[in-house]
Amino acid sequence: MLLKKNGVLLLVLAVCAAVVLGAGTVFAEQSETVVFEVTADTPVVQTGEARKVVVRALVRPYTRRETVRAPLAVALVLDKSGSMASDGKMDNAKRGALEALKMLDSRDVATIIVYDDNASVLVRARSVGNGAKEPAFLRAISRVRSGGMTALHDGVVLGAEQLEPFIDEGFIPRIVLLSDGIANVGPSSTEDLARLGRGLARREMTITTIGLGLDYHEDLMTALAAESGGNAYFARNARMLPEIFTRDMEDAVTLTARRVRISLRALGGARPARVIGRPGNLTGDLLEASIDNLYSGEKYALFEMELPEGEEGAQLEAAEVVLEYIDPVTGDTVRKSAPLTFSFTADGAEVEKRQRTDIVSQAALARNAEIREEAVRLADEGKAQEAAQMLGDRTKQLRMLAPSVGTAAPQMDKESEYFEDLAESLLSTGGLSNVERKEVLNDAYMQKTQQAPVEVVSGDLPGDKPEDTPEDEAEEEEKEKEGEGNASK
C-alpha cells in the first residue's frame, strides 16, 4: 500500500498545481481552456475501518477575456407532420429555429431539414450570414406547412449528410431534432435510433433532441441524445420551444471541450466500485466515465470506491485520475492526470469538519437520477407498489441528509417532496401518467449529465402581446427591401 506517514503532497507543474488543504488532497489542474479538479466527499478518513468514499472529477472552462471558438455546422431538423398543426406547435417550432440562428454568426454554417412522410432539405448547408434575418433561412422557414407522417430517422440522416462535408474543414457538427410524435416511417424502434446516435457520434456529431407535448417517444429521443452526448429536452408546451432552441445554441457556441473522458485507476489497496449516475465501465482496478461535451458551466463524474484501513496520521495515495478531451479549436487531444490522496485520523470531529457537503449533495442527486429511472422501469413492469416503496425509502433518506449538506438542504427537501408525491401518485393510480413518465425520465437525464435547465412555460399569461410569426417577419423583410428599392429610384 502506498501509505506515507504524516506526508504532505505538493505538486507544481508549468500548467498545474496540487494543493494540500490540511489533511487530504484537493487537486486542481488548469490549462488554457479547462480546469480539472479531483477531490473526495471525505478527504480525511476515520482510522480503524474500511469505508466507501465518493470521488468527484470536475471539469470547467477556464475563464478568459477573449474566447476563440471553432465554427459550427448546425442542422435544424424539424417535424412538420400533421400533428404539428395544433396548439401553435408549427409556429413556435419556426420561431425556435429562427432563435437558434440568431445565436450563430457568419463563421458558422446551417441547414434546415423538415420531415413528414419523407425528409427533405429546406435550406442546404450554407453560411449563416445574417442569421435569422438571412433571406434564404427566413423565407424558407416561414413557408413550412404541416401535414403527413413522421419519418424521424430519415430526417436525422439527411441532416447528418448535409453536415458531413464540413467536418474535415474544422467545423463542429451539431444536429437539433424536434419531434412531437412517434416515428412511424422508416426505422422507428428505440434501438434503431440508439444505433443511429452511436454511428453519428463516431462521425463526431452531437444530437440534441426536443420532445414536444405528450405524444413523442421519450425512450427513443433520450437514447438518441445519450448515445451522441447531446442534450435532451421535454417541451411541455409549444411556447417553450424558442427558449429551448436558444438554450441549446448557447451551449453550442460555448463548447470548450469535446469527447471528455475521465478514468480512475485505484492504487494502494483501494478498490473501485462504480460510476454514480453516468454510464461507466469497470475493468479490474480501472473505472471509466464519459462526460462528452463541456460547455460554459462545470460538469463532473462521480466515482465510488472503497478504501482500506489506515493508521493515525498516515496518508494513502488511493488513485490516479486521468482526464482526456479534444480541444475543439485546435483538434488536439489533451491529457491530464491528477493524484488522489487521503489522510487518516482517529478524530471523528475532524472527519466531519472536512467533509465536502457539495460533493455529498451532488452524489445524492446522481443517485436520485438512478432511482427515477428505476421507478419508471418498475412502473412499466406493473410493479407500482414496489416503485412507491423505493421512492418512500428515498424520501426518508433525503430528509435525514438535508440538515448535513448546508446550502444544498433546500434542494434535498424539494427532491424528497417530489419523491413523496410521486410515490402517492403511483399508489393511487397504479402507474405513471404519460406526463409523469416523460418528466421523470427527462429529469433523470438532466441530473445525470448536469444539463442546464430551461424554465417551464405553463401557458399564456394575462396581457401577453402576441409575438410576430415567422411569416410576419418574412413579410416585414420583403417590405423593407421594397422600401430600399423605391428610395434608390
* Percent of the chain whose predicted confidence (pLDDT) is above 90: 80
Q: What is the pLDDT of residue 181?
A: 87
Per-residue confidence (pLDDT) for residue 10, from 0 to 100 = 28
Predicted confidence band of residue 190 (pLDDT cuts 50, 70, 90)? very high
The answer to whether residue 19 scores a pLDDT higher than 90 is: no
Q: Are strands 257-266 and 286-294 parallel, antiparallel or unpaired?
A: antiparallel
In order, the DSSP letters of 68-85 are ----EEEEEEEE-SGGGG
Amino acid at 150: T
Give residue 130's pLDDT: 85
Task: Identify the pLDDT of residue 30.
Answer: 52
Q: How confident is the model at residue 227 (pLDDT cuts 50, 70, 90)?
A: very high
Number of CB atoms found within 10 A of residue 359's CB: 22
Rounded CA gap, 350 and 28, in Å? 23
Q: What is the pLDDT of residue 2?
A: 38
Q: What share of the chain is helix, strand, coil (3-state, %, to 5)?
A: 40, 30, 30
pLDDT for residue 462 is more than 50: no
Residue 445 confidence (pLDDT) above 50: yes
Measure the CA angle with vertex 321, ends 297 and 262; round to 5°.
Answer: 50
Question: Residue 422: what pLDDT?
Answer: 98
Residue 206: partners with Cβ closer than 8 Å, 6 or more residues away = 173, 174, 175, 228, 229, 230, 292, 293
End-to-end Cα separation, the chain, in angstroms: 87
140 or 13, greater pLDDT? 140
Q: Which residues touch 71 (CB under 8 Å, ≥6 apart)?
A: 107, 108, 109, 170, 171, 172
pLDDT of 458 reads: 55
> And the C-alpha cell for 215?
405524444
pLDDT for res 27 = 53
**Residue 4 CA: distances (Å) to CA of 41, 312, 316:** 21, 11, 7
Measured CA to CA in angstroms, residue 242 lies from 116, 144, 450, 474 at distances of 21, 17, 21, 17
Report the candidate in 74, 62, 78, 57 with the shortest Cα–Cα distance to residue 230.
74
- Is the pLDDT assigned to residue 41 strictly greater than 80? yes
**What pLDDT, on the 0 to 100 scale, is given for residue 132?**
80
**pLDDT at position 17, please?**
39
Residue 49: predicted pLDDT: 81
Whether residue 1 has pLDDT greater than 70 = no
pLDDT score for 66: 56
Q: Which of 135, 144, 165 minimizes the C-alpha distance to 76?
A: 144
Examine the pLDDT at 297 and tell me if it is beyond 70.
Answer: yes
Beta carbons within 8 Å of 157's beta carbon, 6+ residues apart: 119, 196
pLDDT for the residue numbered 120: 96
Determine the Cα–Cα distance for residues 233 and 325; give it in Å rounded to an integer.
Answer: 25
pLDDT of the residue at 48: 84
Residue pointed to by grid coordinates 404541416: 146
Q: What angle do CA 142, 147, 151 make, to 5 degrees?
A: 100
Looking up cell 491529457, which residue turns up?
335
pLDDT of residue 7: 32
Nearest of 425, 364, 375, 424 to residue 400 by alpha carbon = 364
Q: Which of 97, 106, 90, 103 is CA-nearest to residue 76? A: 97
| pLDDT exceeds 50 at position 380 | yes
The Cα–Cα gap between 100 and 134 comes to 13
Percent of the chain with pLDDT over 70: 86
pLDDT of 29 above 60: no
What's the confidence (pLDDT) of residue 180? Answer: 94
Judge whether residue 80 has pLDDT over 60.
yes
Between CA 128 and CA 130, with CA 129 as vertex, the angle to 5 degrees is 105
pLDDT of residue 3: 38
Q: Which position has the higher pLDDT, 258 or 24? A: 258
Average pLDDT over residues 369-380: 98
Q: Which helix (H) or strand (E) holds 49?
A: none
Instruction: Please give the Cα distance from 371 to 366 (Å, whole number).
Output: 9
**Region 404-410: what's the mean pLDDT?**
94
CA 462, chain centre distance (Å): 33
CA dihedral 399, 405, 408, 412 (to 10 degrees): -20
Average pLDDT over every residue of 177-196: 92
Is residue 51 predicted with pLDDT exceeding 50?
A: yes
Q: pLDDT for 231-284, tens place per residue?
A: 999 999 999 999 999 999 999 999 999 999 999 999 999 999 999 999 999 999
64 pLDDT tier (thresholds 50, 70, 90): low
Mean confidence (pLDDT) of the chain:
88
Burial (CB count <10 Å: 0-12, 13-18, 19+), residue 305: buried
Per-residue pLDDT for 31 more than 90?
no
Helical ranges in 299-356 per DSSP H = 348-353
Cell 478531451, residue? 325
The pLDDT of residue 15: 36
Average pLDDT of the segment spanning 13-18: 35
